[in-house]
């Protein structure tokens, strides 16, 4: 993963029919952005025989697809992808906290990219149990004809816009229960319901927390360490029940393996949280 604004080094290696490095007739590279727009660069010249390099300066967060095409002599093609993080990727713990927990010197950057992946993965796991922690904006649509809308991410910090049947609803027209994420229509008289048919109500809101409870951040660090140890061949096997480092699967049996110590800190999964 790359930070927004970083330059991503893209490389194509071309070989001839005997397997030796060799230049192609013409080489171009196309980067497809998350919104479907494309950036085409070409012809790209080789930096050394058979090696073509291009530095793409990122401008958007999300998944990017890279397509190299070499034509003429030694024709070939290659497709790859890379992800770009948002300016605020939404992490429960910082990279420096993860390195401190793993006793990695702050000055060492060798494993930073891998650790950031672990932190983001641990964040997703933790939020399955406690609800939204990192602050993120969400836009959701709902069917009308009901008094309450249950937002998918809670707790909710604020609601910035509500559009009902094509019309903006004033803040006085709804009431929010922030901890549960339930948004209730408020109209004069009894029996207030949201108007509109299928997908008739659109809600833009900010979910997350202004501070991270200590048990939540500690659980995230424990999960990060478990991923770190498993990747390096230590701590990856399932201990016997009763051992302190036993692990369990998330509900459904197909999620991440989480150390019991982290589960004890997190408690039961939040109902309805995906």
Question: What span, in angstroms and rounded, lies between the C-alpha atoms of 243 and 80?
Answer: 43
Distances (CA, A) of 253 to 135, 248, 257, 269: 28, 9, 9, 14
pLDDT at 238: 45
* Burial (CB count <10 Å: 0-12, 13-18, 19+), residue 111: middle
Run means of pLDDT, 10 residues per run, the chain, 274 residues: 94 97 98 97 96 97 97 97 91 94 93 92 92 95 94 96 94 95 83 87 96 94 92 57 46 58 81 50
- For the entire predicted model, the pTM comes to 0.72
pLDDT at 177: 97
Listed residue (128, 115, 55, 56) closest to 89, CA to CA? 115
Length of the chain: 274
């Amino acid at each position: 993963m790359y930070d927004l604004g970083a330059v991503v080094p893209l490389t194509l290696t071309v070989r001839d029919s005997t397997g030796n490095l060799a230049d192609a007739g013409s080489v171009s590279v196309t980067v497809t952005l998350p919104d479907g727009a494309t950036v085409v660069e070409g012809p790209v010249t080789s930096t050394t025989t058979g090696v073509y390099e291009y530095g793409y300066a990122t401008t958007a967060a999300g998944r990017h697809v890279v397509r190299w095409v070499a034509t003429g002599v030694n024709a070939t093609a290659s497709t790859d992808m890379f992800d770009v993080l948002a300016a605020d990727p939404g992490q429960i713990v910082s990279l420096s906290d993860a390195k401190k927990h793993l006793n990695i010197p702050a000055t060492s950057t060798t494993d930073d990219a891998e650790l950031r992946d672990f932190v983001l993965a641990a964040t997703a796991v933790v939020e399955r149990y406690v609800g939204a922690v990192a602050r993120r904006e969400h836009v959701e649509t709902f069917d009308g004809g009901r008094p309450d809308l249950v937002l998918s991410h809670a707790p909710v910090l604020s609601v910035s816009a509500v559009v009902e049947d094509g019309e903006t609803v004033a803040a006085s027209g709804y009431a929010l229960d922030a901890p549960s994420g339930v948004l209730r229509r408020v109209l004069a008289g009894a029996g207030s319901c949201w108007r509109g048919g299928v997908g008739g109500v659109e809600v833009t809101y900010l979910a997350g927390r202004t501070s991270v409870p200590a048990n939540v951040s500690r659980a995230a660090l424990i999960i990060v360490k478990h991923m770190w140890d498993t990747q390096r061949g230590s701590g990856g096997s399932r201990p016997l029940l009763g051992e302190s480092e036993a692990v369990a699967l998330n509900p459904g049996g197909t999620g991440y393996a989480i150390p019991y110590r982290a589960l004890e800190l997190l408690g039961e999964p939040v109902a309805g949280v995906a």
